[in-house]
């Protein structure tokens, strides 16, 4: 088994979940209804838990430091999250569409990983898939509802969808280890995942008044998996580690 390939994969999954969880947690106290406030907090809490699970696998099986050090002490260039998760929340429509696009990719990824040749990951993936089912149920319900509601709601969702699609395609930026991961039976590969994802989101969006642009004409936003990030990641990390950095050796 190519441990370098595995480490890289676990790290990007952990980073995606941590940064997405951070952004979704910013809705706590501020969502359009109390029920949505609770939902977004709950989703964020799950995602931070998923990051912890990935970093724990890296710590326990691949010789990496403890999860707090992985999550809270690396420089920005060591993060391999995609740009989609880094973008600041610009409105509820933006966060909802991002949640829809991201969590559909997440559930398909973790479902595929339940068959991973790396057994500890397969076990964790089964548990995480169970949580992601609710994320999908939540995202689909709201996209279907708002995507068929008032003109304003439809227009807002459409704008966010158009803005976010190039970034969402960046989720599937291939790894240099792609072939090794597939050959070792660790993962089905980003290409196969993207195909499944396209079919799923197209089927849901078809039930709404929203229009799915032709993705073959869209240039995906890549770079995150190689440590190149948007201008928004560094300020996010500075905020996230503000207390931890006061004393990294202290117990908080």
Partner 1 sequence: MYGGGYIYDPENKNQAPIAEDPEKLAEFEAKIDNGEKIEPSDWMPYEYRRQLIRMIEQHAHSEIIGALPEGTWITRAPGFKRKMALIAKVQDEIGHGQLLYAAAETLGKPREQMLNDLLSGKSKYSNVFNYPAKTWADVAVIGFLIDAGAIINQLANSKGSYAPYGRALKRICAEESFHLKQGYEAFVYLATGTSTQRAMLQDAVNRWWPPIMHFFGPSDKISVHTEKLIRWQVKMDTNDNMRNDFLEQYVPKIWELDITLPDPNLRKNPETGRWEYTEPDWDEFFRVISGNGPCNKERLDVRRWVEESGRWVRQALFKPNEIYKVPLA
CB 6 within 8 A of CB 118: yes
Contact window for partner 1 (CB under 8 A) among 19-27, 100-108, 129-137, 177-185: 19-27
Q: Identify the residue among 60, 78, 137, 145 touching partner 1 (CB under 8 A).
A: 145
Please report how close the Cβ of residue 123 comes to partner 1 at its closest, in angstroms: 20
CA distance 250 to 245: 10
User: What would the x/- binding string for partner 1 be over residues 101 to 140, using CB under 8 A?
Assistant: ----------------------------------------
Angle, helix 92-113 to helix 151-169, in steps of 10 degrees: 40
Q: Two tokens at 215?
A: 């993705």
CB of 69 to partner 1, least distance (A): 10
CB of 201 to partner 1, least distance (A): 21
What tokens does 162 get?
A: 């158009």
Radius of gyration of the chain (CA): 18
156 binds partner 1 (CB under 8 A): yes
Q: How far is it, in rounded angstroms, from Cα 184 to Cα 186?
A: 5
CB of residue 227 to partner 1, shortest distance in Å: 22
Q: Is 33 in the site for partner 1 (CB under 8 A)?
A: yes
DSSP H/E element including 191: helix 190-205
Minimum CB separation of residue 42 from partner 1 in Å reads 6
- Pick the binder of partner 1 from 22, 111, 135, 229 (CB under 8 A): 22
216 near partner 1, rule: CB under 8 A = no
Q: Which residue in the set 71, 170, 220, 224 belongs to the binding site for partner 1 (CB under 8 A)?
A: 71
Q: DSSP label at 245?
A: G
Is-contact 114 129, C-beta < 8 A? yes
How far apart, in whole angstroms, are the C-alpha atoms of residue 94 and residue 158?
10
Q: Which stretch binds partner 1 (CB under 8 A): 65-73, 106-114, 121-129, 202-210?
A: 65-73
C-alpha 208/C-alpha 147 separation (Å) is 5
C-alpha angle with apex 137: 215 to 38, nearest 5 degrees? Answer: 115
Q: How far apart are CA 1 and CA 5, in angstroms?
A: 9
- In the complex, minimum distance from the CB of residue 28 to partner 1, in angstroms, rounded to a whole number: 5
Whether 114 and 128 have beta carbons less than 8 Å apart is answered as: no
Contacting partner 1 (CB under 8 A), which of 5, 13, 20, 52? Answer: 52
Please identify, using beta-carbon distances, which residue of 38 and 203 lies nearer to partner 1: 38
Binding footprint of partner 1 on the chain (CB under 8 A): 22, 25-26, 28-38, 41-42, 44-45, 48-49, 51-52, 67-68, 71-72, 91-92, 145-146, 149-150, 152-153, 156, 236, 239-240, 242-244, 246-247, 250-252
């Amino acid at each position: 088994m190519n441990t370098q390939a595995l480490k890289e994969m676990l790290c990007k999954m952990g980073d995606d979940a941590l940064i997405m969880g951070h952004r979704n947690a910013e809705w706590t106290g501020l969502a359009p209804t109390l029920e949505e406030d609770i939902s977004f907090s709950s989703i964020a809490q799950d995602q931070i838990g998923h990051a912890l699970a990935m970093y724990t696998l890296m710590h326990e099986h691949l010789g990496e430091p403890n999860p707090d050090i992985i999550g809270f002490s690396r420089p920005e260039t060591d993060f391999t999250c995609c740009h989609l998760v880094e973008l600041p929340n610009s409105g509820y429509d933006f966060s909802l569409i991002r949640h829809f696009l991201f969590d559909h990719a997440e559930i398909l990824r973790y479902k595929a990983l339940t068959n991973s040749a790396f057994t500890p990951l397969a076990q964790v993936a089964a548990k995480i898939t169970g949580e992601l089912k609710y994320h999908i149920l939540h995202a689909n319900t709201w996209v279907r509802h708002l995507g068929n509601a008032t003109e304003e709601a439809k227009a807002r969702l459409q704008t966010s969808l158009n803005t976010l699609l190039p970034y969402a395609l960046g989720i599937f930026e291939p790894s240099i280890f792609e072939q090794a991961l597939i050959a070792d039976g660790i993962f089905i590969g980003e290409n196969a995942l993207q195909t499944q994802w396209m079919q799923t989101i197209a089927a849901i969006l078809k039930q709404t008044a929203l229009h799915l642009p032709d993705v073959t004409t869209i240039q995906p936003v890549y770079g995150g998996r190689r440590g190149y990030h948007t201008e928004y990641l560094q300020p996010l990390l500075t905020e996230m580690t503000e207390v931890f950095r006061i004393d990294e050796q202290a117990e908080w």
